[in-house]
Amino acid sequence: MKSKKLRELSDSLDDNDFQNLEFLLTASVEGYREWQAQADDDDLEYATELLIEYNLMIQEALCEVPFLQAKEVLKSIKK
């Protein structure tokens, strides 16, 4: 995923969280394994929380389009 699109989706994250999320999403298998080998439990928990938050952001972004369409349908029915 390109950083610009990732940044648009994750605009609620501060720069540090954004950079960490970007690493988690773009790291090579080798790079991720190296990071994981030196990560402690807090690092792994933080990474999991970031990925869960990212998942929620994706779900929210995907739901926006149907909600907008549904609102338009409801407006037309109310008229």
| Integer Cα distance of 4 and 14 in angstroms | 15
> Taking a C-beta distance cutoff of 8 angstroms, is the pair 32, 43 a contact?
no
| Integer Cα distance of 42 and 47 in angstroms | 9
Q: Report pLDDT for 68.
A: 67
Q: Is the pTM of this model over 0.85?
A: no
* Dihedral sign, Cα of residue 55, residue 58, residue 60, residue 63: negative
| Integer Cα distance of 53 and 9 in angstroms | 11
Average pLDDT by consecutive 10-residue portion of the chain (79 residues)?
63 86 94 96 95 85 68 71
Q: Report pLDDT for 57.
A: 83
- Give Cα separations from 37 to 23, 26, 44 (angstroms): 15, 17, 10
